[in-house]
Amino acid sequence: MIEIDGSFGEGGGQILRTSLTLSALTKKPFKIYKIRANRPNPGLQRQHLTALEAVKILTNAKVKGDKLGSTEVIFEPQNIIEEGEFMFDVGTAGSVTLILQTILPLLLNRKVKVTIRGGTDVPKSPSIDYIRLTFLPLLEKIGIKVSLDLIKRGHYPEGGGEIRVSQVVGNPSRFSLLQTGKLIKIKGISHVSSLPSHIAERQAKSAKEYLQSKLNVPIDIDLDIREKEISKGSGITLTAIYENTYLGSDSLGEKGKRAETVGEEAAKLLFEEIKSNATVDKHMGDMLMLYASLFSGEYIGSILTMHAKTNAEIIKKFLNVEIEIKGEKPFFFKARKEL
């Protein structure tokens, strides 16, 4: 059984999520202890517990320690379920996108439909529009196509968001993302939920004005106005679309933060990613690591975060891969399955 110190490196929930994904795929059981030990609220919170429960159900796993606040879990997966419909509810504004990240590789070429309820646009996690505009198009580049529907938006603290994954298909193989190619255009989504529509308009206008002052490419930002959601909130997500790749950024509104500030913040973040000459942004540099390790891939990430460094170490515990990381800003990542 693989043993994992949950306080290692970045010390957050990503250690558990990566372990769950790879344990399910490899059928290797693991024990994780000191889960989030250095956090203000250590142990499993609702979002982590929901990810654990989701993989438990999808793999008919035997689990010990699956309760709120638990700092130790033993996970023994069986076979991944081939078909069925499932619903997982965080019960709070906990991120649905982090749960989606955990289970997505398990759904590949299986007749499984999944609904996840919780927060779609919450701090310290990818927004649902980042997933739709940047992550999923990039997965399609490496051979994985995902059908994802945003049913309801959910903001912190109320939550109430809902997404549905109905199909994950493909035949991914070795990939190389070392050249961005030409920058074609900028695409974005500016949204509000149960707030005045002018907030989304101002976010979009501010982002567009900033990017137009820096770039000479078409900029297309759609508005998503939702008047009757459970939660109130706003945000904007931007994606730079290149010939070979996608770079993304996002920014969320909050009380006392002007809409113009939100829009410009996302635009500045995206411009920094563009200037980095990397082929994936700092969040994707972490998220793509698992897929590169599963299918032998290479790419250039804009910033080597502690999240990414920790993820690499967890991956090596489950997969027989040779991992090469060079540099930090930007950094080169390559994974190759060992024979």
Which residue, 5, 59, 64, is CA-closest to 28?
Answer: 59
Helices 306-318, 13-26: crossing angle, 10 deg rounding: 30
Tell me which residue has tokens 């399609």: 140
Contact 50, 118 (CB under 8 A): yes
Tell me which residue has tokens 């968001």: 161
Ligand-binding site membership of 101 (annotated):
yes
| Strands 2-5 and 30-33, bridge-based pairing | parallel
Phi, psi angle pair for 281, to nearest 5° = -75, 175
Q: What is the spatial distance between Cα 153 and Cα 269, in angstroms, rounded to a whole number?
A: 23
Among 48, 155, 283, 307, the active-site one is: 307
Tell me, yes or no, if 191 is annotated catalytic: no
Contact 62, 79 (CB under 8 A): no
> Is the peptide bond prior to 157 cis by the omega test (within 30 degrees of 0)?
yes
Phi, psi angle pair for 73, to nearest 5° = -135, 140
| Strands 297-301 and 331-337, bridge-based pairing | antiparallel
In terms of Cβ atoms closer than 10 Å to its own Cβ (0-12, 13-18, 19+), residue 33 is middle
Which residue, 166, 156, 44, is CA-closest to 112?
Answer: 166
- Binding residues for ATP, by number, are 101
Known catalytic residues? 307
The binding site consists of 101
